[in-house]
Structure 1
Amino acid sequence: MAAVDVQNTAFLQAVSFVNHTNRNLFLTGKAGTGKTTFLKYIQQHSYKKMAVAAPTGVAAMNAGGTTLHSLFWLPFGMYIEDYELAWDDHDSHIYNRRRLFGKVKLTKQRRALLQEIDLLVIDEVSMLRADTLDAIDTILKNVRRDARPFGGLQVLFIGDMYQLPPVVREQEREVMSRYYPSPFFFDAKVLRDQPPVLLELKKIYRQSEQTFIDILNDIRNNCCTSEQLDVLNTYYNPDFMPAKDDPYVTLTTHNHRADAINKRELEALPEQTVTLEAKVSKDFPETLYPAEVELRLKVGAQVMFIRNDSGDERRYYNGKIGYVKHIDSTGDVLMVEFKDGTDAVTVKREEWENIRYRYDKVQDRVEEEVLGTFAQFPLRLAWAITIHKSQGLTFDKAIIDAGASFAAGQVYVALSRLRKLDGLVLHSRIPSHSIRTDRQVADFSKATPADEDMPKILEASQRSYLGHILLHSFKWDRLVEASQGVLTDLESRNIADQAAAYEFLQTLSIACRAQREVADKFRNQLNGLLNKEGESDYVKIHERTEKAVAWFLPRIEDDLITALDAHIAAWTIKKRTKKYVEELKGLYVDFKRKKEQLTQCLIIAEALAKGDALQEVMGKAERLNAIEIKAEELPENIGKPKVVKGETKRISFDLFQAGKSIDDIATERGLTRNTIIGHLLDFIGRGVEAHQLMDAGKLDTARKVVQQNPGKPSSVLKAMLGNEVEYIEIRIAQASLTR
C-alpha cells in the first residue's frame, strides 16, 4: 500500500479516533473519497484486536471479513427486544430478547472472542438495519457483562447513507415502524443517547470534473436544480449501442436484466463457449460466493475484474474492463487485453477465504481461521451489471438503464461510479422524483461536527481513552470469573486428588475476589480524579496509581502466579489431569497479563504527570492493546528453569555475535524474527549496528521522518512512511537515534 495522503486531514483524524480513542465512529464520505482505502489501512495499521464484518456476504468478502450474522450467530428475522410474542406462528420471524438467546449458541471460544476484541468494524453500513444493530448490542452487553453501548466495545461504522438502503420485507415494515423511526442503523436504540462521532472524508479521488462533482453533491443533498437535471438528461440516448470494442458497461436495476444483456452479447460472439468451474474447498456457503461458480466465457467477451491484482505489479483493479484474448486449453489460465493502451495480462484463479475469527489468549490477538476457500478467475461478464453490485467500482464509460424503477440512492450510486460525464449514456431519462434523498438520512448527516471543532473533540476523546485504560487495568472481573469457572468445571471432572485441587482453587478464587474488592475501591477513587471538573490532576493520579500498583504487583505474583505455578507443576504429573492442567495454564496467562497491564498503565500515568505530549503518551498506550506473553513465560515452560530477566536478550545477542543470522536465531530459539530483532534493539551501539537489522536505505528514510516528528506515536510515523517500512523498523530507527 502506498503512503497515506498526509494532506487528507479527515483521514488522519479518523485513524487517530480508531487507534487512540474508544469512541464509536461513523466514517462516511461521498463515492470515491477513499472509504475502502481507509478500511484496508486500518486493517494493516491498528494495534487493536479487531473483527471486520458487513451486513451481506458480498460486502463481507469485499471487506476481507465475515458477515454480522456469522460473527454473532444471529437468526434471520426482525429483533424487537420487548416484543410480546403470540401463541401462534404468525410472528415466528420476530425475535425478542428471550427468543434471541434461545437461538444464539455462544460457545466458550465465541464468548472469548466477543469479550476480547477491542474494535468491531462494520462496512457498508447503509445496508445495516437498526434492529440488527440492537440485537448485536444485546449480545455484546450480555457476553461482556457491561451495560455500556456494545458492552464497551468500540465500533467503527463505514459507509455512505446516500447509497443502498437496508432491506425491509413487507411483512416486517408495519411492525418495525412501531418501534423505529426508520430502518437505518442510526435509529437503533443503542445509538439514541450516545450517537457515534460523524467524520466525513471530503477529498474526492474518483472524479476531478467540477461540474460533475457539483451535480453529484446536489443529488446527495436533495437540491439538484432543474438546470443540473437538464445537463444529465442531455446524455439521454435510448438507441445507443456501443461498438464491439468500446468498453461500456450497462448499469441496470435487476439481475435478470443484467443477465439477459450479458447472455445476448456472449451468444453473438462467433467463438466457442468455455465454461470455467470454480474450485470450492471445505466450508464456503453459496450465499458468500464472490464470483460465478460456472463462468462462461468466449474469446472476445467483455469482462470486468472483480478484485484488485494481488501481485506486486498492480496490473488491474476492481472494476477495470477488458476483453478475453485467449483461453488456455487446460482451463487454468486466460489472457485479458485492454483498449486503454495498457499491456495484456495473464490471469489465473484467485482465492477467496471464508474466515472465522478466534481469540488466541497466549498471543493476545484475534486471528483469522480459514474455514473454506473459493477459487475462480476474478472476472465477470461486463456488458451489464446491477447497480447494487456496482457499489465500490469505478468505470470510465457506462450506460445507465434503470427505466422507471429508480429508487432513492440508486441514481447517486449509478452516476457516482463514473469518472467523467462524457462517459455517461442514459437509456432512460432521469425524472426529478427519482433523485430524492431520504429525509432521515439528510437530517442525520447534518450532525457532522464542524471541521474546526474536530481537533478538540479528538483530544478530549484521547484523554478520556487514557483514563479508560487506567481504569480498565484495575478491573478484576475477568480474573474472578476465570478462576471461578475452573473451580466450577472441576466438580464434573474425574481427576487425581480432586479434593486437594478443589481446596487450592477455592483459596485462589478467594484471593482473586479479595483483590477485586480493593481494585473496585481504587477504581472509584481513580474515576473521581479523572472526571472531576476542570483539568484532571495527573500528578495526583500518578501518585495514587503508583501506590496501587505497588500494592497489587506482589500479591498477584505471590498469591496468584507463584501459587498457580506450583500447583500446575504438581498436577501435571498426576493421572487424568491433562484437560484440567490446560485450563490452569489459561488462567496462568490471565494472571501474567494482568501483571503486565499494571506495569504498562503506570508508564502512562507517569507520562501524563510529567506533562508529556499527548501523542507521545498515546504511543505508550498502544502497547496495552496486545500484551504478548513471552516464550519463556508460556505455560508450556512452567516447571522448567526460569530465564533471568534480561538473559533471553543476552542469549540472542551472543548468538548474533557468533555470526548467526536473525532467521537462524529465531529458528533455533523457537521465536519470531521480530522478537529476535526486539532483543537486539537493546544492543544497538553496544555491539549491534542498526543497519545490520534493516536495509540501510530504509533506515535513512525512517530516521529522517522520526527526527522531523519528535514524540509522534509509531502509528502516525507508519502512516507517513507507508507500507514499505514495518513497525519494528521504526523502532530500530528510533533506537539508533537515541543511542
Structure 2
Amino acid sequence: MPTLVNEKLQLAHDFVLHTNRNVFLTGKAGTGKTTFLHQVKNTSSKRLAVVAPTGVAAINAGGVTIHSLFQLPFGPLVPGALNRETRKFTREKINLLRTLDLLIVDEISMVRADVLDGIDAVLRRFRYRPEPFGGVQLLLIGDMQQLPPVIRDEDWALLRPYYDTGYFFGSRALQKTPYISLELDHIYRQADQRFIEILNSVREKRITRAQLDDLNQRFIPNFTPQDDEGYITLTTHNQAALQLNSQKLQSLTTQLHTFEATIEGDFPAHAYPTEASLELKVGAQVMFNKNDASREKLFYNGKIGQITDIDDDVIYVKCPHDPDTLTVSPMEWVNIRYTLDPQTNEIKEEPIGKFVQYPLKLAWAITIHKSQGLTFEKAIIDAASAFAHGQVYVALSRCKTLEGLVLREPIPSHSIKTELLLEEFHEQVQQQTPDDQELWHSKQLNQEQLLLDLFSFERTHYLINRCRRTGAEHAGSLDEGLEPALNQFNAVFQEKVRDVTERFRQQLPRYFAGDLLAEENQPLQERVRKAGVYFKDLIRNELQPMLASVPTETDNKQVREALHESLDELEKELFIKLHCFEATLDGFEALVYQKTRNHAELEFQSIRKQASRKSDEGRSGHEKPRTLYDALAKWRQDLAGELDTVAHTILPRKTLAELARSKPSTLDELLKIKGFGKVKARMIGEDVLTIIRSFLENESATKASSAPEKPNKTPSPALSLALFRQGKTVTDIAQERNIAASTVEGHLAQFISSGQLSVYELVPAEKVETIRTYLEKHTPKTLTEAKAGLGDGVTFAEIRMVYNSMLAGTAQTD
C-alpha cells in the first residue's frame, strides 16, 4: 500500500492540511488515490466530510452521497433553481455545513458540473459567505480517463445553455476559484513496465499500432478456462454479466443455497454492496467484495476464488495460489450520516443503517463499471463494444499483469474513445502542478487570510445596522430606550473596534511583507497577542454587557421575534470573536484558530434567550413581582388568559410603563394616561388602581418593617468591585466612597488574587509583561525592592496587582 513517502502524495497532504487551496488529485488506476483519501480522513485535524456520486462509491469511501448531504434534487440543476427550492435543512445539518473546513469528493470524474454548482449554492447559502463553496476547501479525487458522468440527452438540453461541458471542471463555481492539480504517477497495482506503458498509452489516447498489436496478442479465440483457474469476465453491459453468471450457476449440479441479507435501519437498495438474496452453489466462482478486517488480511475486495463447501453459517472458498481454504462468515457494511457530537461538537459518523451478508458475489462476470477500484489476477476482457469514454482503460487496468489478461475479441482502435475536451483539460492539469515554493506561499496566504478574518468586524457592523433598521421600522411598538441604546452601542463599536481594526488591518501587509510564515513571525505574533488582550477585554467587559442591557420589550410577537433574531446573531458574532481572540493570547496558530472558530459557532447560547426562559419560569410560579411594572404585567397576563385573548389588547406595554411611572391613585388621574379611555376605565380601572395601591402599601410596609434594623453592610472591598464593574474608574470610586485611591486599588488587587478580576482590566498589557518578566527573573523579596528595580514607570499598586495575578496563575492566561 502506498504511504506518504511518495513525494506527490506528501505534497498533496501538505496542501490539504496546511492551506485552504482547492486540490484536484488525479492519477492512473492503482496509484493510491483511495488510500490517500483514507489517510487524510485519519490524520487531518480539519472538520471534514466525504461524499461520492453513487451509493456504492460512498459506502466504499466511508462517506455519504452528494445528494443526501446537500439535499439536492435529482435531475439537472439549472443555475439559480436551488434558490427556489424549499427543502428544509435541520439545524444540526446547517451547523455541520457552517463549520465544515474540508469537503472530499471521491470519484469526481462521475460528478456533473451542475451538481458541483449545487453544492456551491447550498454552502454559500448556509455559511453566509460569498466565496465559491462558501469558503470550504475542496479535495476532488478521481481520474478523468475513467468513467464519465451520466448525462441523458434531455438533461443536457436543459444544461447546454449554461455549461460548455458536463464534466466537473465545467462548474461555474469551480472556475471562479483557482485550484491546484496533482497527478500521481507511481503505479502500485502493476509492476510489468511493458504493460504499464500500454496502459498509459490507452489512458492518454496515444496508443501506437505496435502497442495495439502487442495488446491484441492477448486475444485467444474460443478461450474457455477451467473453473478453478479463477478468470473473471469484464463486460460493457450489465445484462451480459448477469446472463453469464446465471448460466454458469445453473450448469452446476450441486445444491442451491440462498442467503438472505440482514438489513437494519436506513440502507437504500442502490447502495447494496452485494445481493440481498445471494444464491450460491458449491463449485461457483465468487469474488470477495470486502477487505478482510482481521490481522491476517486473508482476502481483499476483488479476490477471486471457488466455493468448495457450504455449511449452515460458513462458506468455504479456495483461491488460486493460496495454500489454505478460507472460511467465510457474514460481514457488516454500515451506512452513515454526518452528525455533530453533542458533547464535543466534533463532526462524527453516525451509523444509520446496516447490511449484513456474506462478502461474496458470483464472479464469472462483472460489468466494467462495477469493476472500478478492483484488482484481478486473471480477467477476460470483453470491451470491443465499449460505448463510453474510459471503459477500455478501466477494464484493462483492473489486471495486475498482461499475462493474466485475455481478450474476448481484439480491441479495435475506435473503441479507445477520446475527447478533445479531456485532452485539453489534461494539459491544463499538467500546467497546474505546484511545487514546494507554491506550497510555502499557499501556507503563507492561508495564515494571512485567517488573520485578516480574525480582525474583520464587517459582519458585526452589518448586524448592528440590521438591529437598528429593525428598531427604526417598528419604533412605535418598541421600548423608547431601544434606539438610544443601539446608537450608543454603535458609537462604542465604531470608536473602539472598527476604527482600531481598520488601522491594524492596514498595518498587517507590512508584517506580511517578510519571508516568514505568520506563525513564525515573532513581531507579528507579539502584535496579535496584544490585540487579543485588547479585544478580549473590550468584548467581554464592555460590548457584551451593553448588548445584554438593550431593552427589547414589545407586545408585537412578530416584531419581538425579528428583533431578537437580529440581536441573537449579533450576540453570537461577538461570542465567536471573543473566543477567537482568547485563542490568540499565546500566539496565532492557523489550525487552532479554525478549530476555535468552529467550536464557538456551535457552543453559542443566547444570554437573552436564557434570561427569557428564566423570566418565564419565574412568572409561571409564585414569585412576588419585584416592581410595579412587573405586578401590572402579571395581572395583564393572567386576565388575558382568563379572557382567552392576547395581552396587549387589554393594555399596551407603553401604557403599563406609564402607569408604573406616574402611579395614578384616582380614576381622573387614570384617564390622563395615554391608552386609557373611558371604556377601559369603566371595565378595568378599579382593578388597575387596586394593584397600584396594593403594591405601594406593601412597599411602604416593607420599608417600615426594615427601618429599625441596620441593613447588612456590603463589605468594603466588594463594594469597590461592584462600582468598578459599573464602569467607574479607581478615582471615581475613591471620590464616591470618600476613601483613598490606594485603598480602592488594594480592594481590587484582592479580587485579582481570587481570579474574579483580570490584571489586564487594571494594568496595561505592556506593563504587565514588563513587571512579570522582572519579578520572574529577579524574585525580589519586597515590593519596595521591586519598585526600586523597575523604576518610576510603574506604581506600587501595579506591581502588587501583577504579583497577585501570578499567584493566581492568570497573568498568562487571561
Q: Is the TM-score greater than 0.5?
A: yes
Residue aligned with 2:85, SS: helix
Number of equivalent positions = 589
User: In structure 2, how many angstroms separate the alpha carbons of the residues matched to 1:67 and 1:450?
Assistant: 31
Question: Distance in 2 between the 1:358 and 1:506 partners?
Answer: 42
d(CA) in 2 for partners of 1:520 and 1:562?
Answer: 18
Compared with structure 1, are the counterparts of its residues 264 and 476 closer, same or farther at alpha carbon in structure 2 (3 Å cutoff)?
farther
Q: Distance in 2 between matches of 1:202 and 1:428?
A: 29
The Cα offsets for residues 338-375 of structure 1, whole Å up to 9 and x where unpaired, read as: 12225333222222222221234762421222222222
Output aligned runs, 1:565-644, within 5 Å. 594-601=577-584, 603-605=586-588, 620-627=589-596
Judge conservation of contact 2:528–2:587 (CA < 8 Å) in 1: no
Q: In the TM superposition, what whole-angstrom CA distance separates every residue of 1:264-319 from its partner, at most 9, and x where no partner exists? A: 11112221111111111122222222221111111221111112112222221111
SS at match of 1:312: coil
Structure 1 residues 513 and 34 mapped into 2: Cα distance closer, same or farther (>3 Å)? farther
Query: Which amino acid in structure 1 is aligned with residue 162 of structure 2?
Result: Y
Check the 8 A contact 2:67/2:73 in 1, yes or no: yes
1:28 to 1:405, Cα distance in 2 relative to 1, 3 A:
closer
- 1:124 counterpart letter in structure 2: E
Partner of residue 377, structure 1: 358
Q: Aligned in 2, Cα 1:7/1:13: closer, same or farther, shift over 3 Å?
A: same
Could you tell me which amino acid in structure 1 is paired with residue 62 of structure 2?
Answer: G
What residue in structure 1 maps to residue 113 of structure 2? 130
Residues 592 and 629, structure 1, Cα contact 8 Å, conserved in 2? no
Q: Which amino acid aligns with 1:131?
A: D
Give yes or no for contact 1:471–1:526 (8 Å, CA) kept in 2: no
Of 4, 15, 18, the residue aligned with 1:17 is 15
Matching residue of 1:389: 370
1:264 is matched with which residue?
247
**The residue matched to 1:27 in structure 2 has which SS?**
strand
Give CA deviations for 1:574-606 in whole Å, capped at 9, x if unaligned. Answer: xxxxxxx9xx9999998666444223345455x
Matched residue, 2:46: 48
Which residue number corresponds to residue 736 of structure 2? none
| Residue equivalent to 2:799 | none
Aligned partner of 2:236 in structure 1 is: 253
After TM superposition, the structure 1 = structure 2 runs for residues 27-38 of structure 1, keeping only pairs within 5 Å, are 27-38=25-36
Q: Distance in 2 between matches of 1:517 and 1:366?
A: 39
- Which residue number in structure 1 is paired with residue 100 of structure 2? 117
| Aligned position for 2:77 | 79
The 8 Å contact of residues 129 and 183 in structure 1, kept in 2 or not, is answered as yes
Conserved in 2, the CA contact under 8 Å of 1:57 and 1:66? yes
Tell me the distance in 2 between the aligned counterparts of 1:525 and 1:172. 52
Of 521-530 and 337-346, deviating more is: 521-530
Q: Deviations over 1:510-534 (max 9, x none)?
A: 9699659965656655555555795
The separation in 2 between residues aligned to 1:359 and 1:292, in whole angstroms, is: 33
Structure 2 residue aligned with 1:139, among 100, 109, 122?
Answer: 122
CA contact (8 A) 2:539 2:574 kept: yes
Deviation at 1:625, TM superposition (A): 3.9
Q: In the TM superposition, what is the alpha-carbon distance from 1:624 to its structure 2 partner?
A: 3.2
Q: Secondary structure at 1:408's aligned position in 2?
A: coil
Counterpart residue number, 1:608: none
Q: Aligned partners of 1:563, 1:336: CA distance in 2, in Å?
A: 73
Please give the alpha-carbon distance, in whole angstroms, between the structure 2 residues aligned to 1:328 and 1:592.
63
Distance in 1 between residues matched to 2:487 and 2:315, nearest whole Å: 64
Q: 2:532 aligns with which of 528, 549, 569?
A: 549
CA distance in 2, matches of 1:55, 1:512: 48
- The counterpart of 1:358, out of the listed 324, 333, 339, is 339
Aligned match of 1:319: 302
Contact 1:141–1:151 (Cα < 8 Å) also in 2: yes
Per-residue deviation, 1:138: 1.6
1:35/1:12 Cα in 2 relative to 1: closer, same or farther (>3 Å)?
A: same
Partner of 1:616: none
Specify the alignment match of 1:426 in structure 2: 407
Give the drift of 1:552: 1.2
Partner of 1:461: 442
Cα drift, residue 544 of structure 1: 4.3
Aligned twin of 1:471: 452
Match of 2:631 in 1: none
* Distance in 2, Cα, partners of 1:483 & 1:301: 72
- State whether structure 2 residue 163 is matched by structure 1 residue 165: no
Q: Give 3-state SS (helix, strand or coil) of 1:343's partner.
A: coil
**1:474–1:519 CA contact under 8 A, matched in 2:** no
* More displaced stretch, 527-536 vs 5-14: 527-536
Report matched runs for 1:421-570 at 5 Å: 421-448=402-429, 453-475=434-456, 528-529=506-507, 534-535=513-514, 538=521, 541-542=524-525, 544-559=527-542
Matches of 2:503 and 2:404, distance apart in 1 = 64
Query: Which residue among 291, 294, 305 is the counterpart of 2:288?
Result: 305
Q: TM-score by structure 1 length?
A: 0.71
Could you say which residue in structure 2 is the equivalent of 1:187? 170
User: Structure 1 counterpart of 2:51, which letter?
Assistant: A
**Alpha-carbon contact 2:386-2:392 (below 8 Å) kept:** no
Task: For residue 7 of structure 1, give the secondary structure of its aligned residue in structure 2.
Answer: coil
Corresponding residue SS for 1:368:
strand
Q: 2:67 aligns with which of 66, 69, 76?
A: 69
The answer on whether the counterparts of 2:104 and 2:138 sit within 8 Å (CA) in structure 1 is yes
Mapped partners of 2:367, 2:283: distance in 1: 22
Q: Which secondary structure state, in structure 1, belongs to the residue aligned with residue 228 of structure 2?
A: coil
Secondary structure at the counterpart of residue 79 of structure 1: coil
Matched residues in 1 for 2:468 and 2:265: separation?
A: 38
Q: Distance in 2 between matches of 1:503 and 1:284?
A: 56
User: How far apart, in 2, do the equivalents of 1:376 and 1:131 lie?
Assistant: 36
Identity among equivalent pairs (%):
42
> In structure 2, what is the equivalent of residue 398 of structure 1?
379
Asked if structure 1 preserves the Cα contact closer than 8 Å seen for 2:199 and 2:397, the reply is yes
> Structure 1 347/439 Cα, relative in aligned 2: closer, same or farther at 3 Å?
same
Post-superposition Cα deviations, 1:426-459, rounded to whole Å, max 9, x if no partner, equal 1121111111332212211212356995111111
User: 1:318-346, CA deviations, whole angstroms, 9 ceiling, x for partnerless residues?
Assistant: 111122233232xx432322122253332
Larger Rg: 2
Amino acid across the alignment from 1:441 = L
Q: Classify the secondary structure of the residue corresponding to 1:179.
A: coil
CA distance in 1, matches of 2:82, 2:147: 30
Distance 2:97 2:13 in 1: 23
Q: Structure 1: how far apart are the matches of 2:120 and 2:599? A: 31
Q: SS of the counterpart of 1:422?
A: coil
**Retained in 1: the 8 A contact 2:489–2:547?**
no
CA contact (8 A) 2:544 2:574 kept: yes
Equivalents in 2 of 1:113, 1:379: separation in Å? 36
1:16 maps to a residue whose letter is D
Q: Is the 8 A contact 2:533 2:585 kept in 1?
A: no
Aligned match for 1:339, one of 308, 312, 320: 320
Show structure 2 runs of 5+ residues with no match.
Answer: 470-477, 551-563, 612-750, 755-814
Letter of the structure 1 residue corresponding to residue 87 of structure 2: V
Measure how far apart 1:177 and its partner are: 2.9
